[in-house]
């Protein structure tokens, strides 16, 4: 006689349902640990990128400071070059005006120009030619004009003309170096 309508089955230690939820739990834990490792790697990578960015920023800031010093140096050189150019232009114009002012009868042999004086050496046929044609324009420009004549063997006169003006008179014309 049989007391059961079904055939007996082998009873397992772990049932099929239990295997499924243990597998699901294991996979879930592995996913969480994997996600945790992924986050730790990304955090490490992010921190490494931050350190690299700080190093690059420091390097770029140093380069910016170097460029600013170079720009400041070039700017000073530009101002200096402009001052020299302005000075040369004024000197060129002054020399042109000076030589246009010299009459044809007078021959210059040497001209010395400084900041506050003009010294001319030359030859003139007579003292009057010098006095009327050159001394009058020089006196209108300079505060002090003196001339010394020396008789030449051929009857002409060698002269040394020293002309000076005060710095206050033309102080605002000369270019000044800007700081």
Residue 8 lies in a domain: no
Alpha helices in 1-123 (DSSP H): 16-101
What is the band of 168 on the pLDDT scale with cuts at 50, 70, 90? low
Question: Among 101, 126, 144, where does a domain finish?
Answer: 101
State how far the alpha carbon of 118 is from the alpha carbons of 98, 143, 144, in Å: 10, 11, 10
93, 35: one domain? yes
Domain of 40? Answer: 15-101
Mean pLDDT of the chain: 87
pLDDT of residue 165: 77
Residues 96 and 132 occupy one common structural domain: no
Q: In this structure, what are the phi and psi dihedrals at residue 56, rounded to the nearest 5 degrees?
A: -65, -40
pTM for the whole structure: 0.50
Mean pLDDT of 44-51: 96
**E strand or H helix at 127, and its extent?**
helix 127-130
Return the pLDDT at 100: 84
Domain shared by 33 and 80, yes or no: yes
pLDDT 10s digits, 97-119: 878 888 888 888 998 888 788 89
């Amino acid at each position: 006689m049989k007391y059961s309508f079904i055939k007996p089955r082998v009873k397992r230690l772990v049932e099929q349902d239990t295997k499924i939820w243990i597998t699901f739990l294991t996979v879930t834990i592995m996913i969480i640990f994997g996600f945790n490792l992924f986050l730790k790697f990304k955090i490490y990578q992010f921190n490494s990128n931050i350190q690299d960015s700080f190093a690059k920023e420091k390097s770029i800031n140093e380069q910016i400071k170097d460029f600013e010093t170079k720009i400041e140096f070039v700017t000073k050189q530009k101002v200096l070059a402009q001052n020299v150019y302005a000075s040369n232009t004024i000197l060129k114009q002054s020399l042109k005006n000076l030589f246009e002012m010299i009459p044809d009868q007078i021959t210059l042999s040497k001209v010395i120009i400084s900041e506050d004086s003009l010294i001319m050496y030359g030859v003139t046929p007579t003292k009057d030619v010098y006095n009327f044609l050159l001394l009058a324009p020089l006196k209108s420009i300079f505060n002090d004009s003196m001339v010394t004549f020396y008789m030449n063997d051929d009857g002409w006169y060698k002269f040394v003309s020293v002309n000076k003006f005060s710095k206050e008179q033309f102080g605002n014309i000369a270019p000044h170096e800007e700081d």
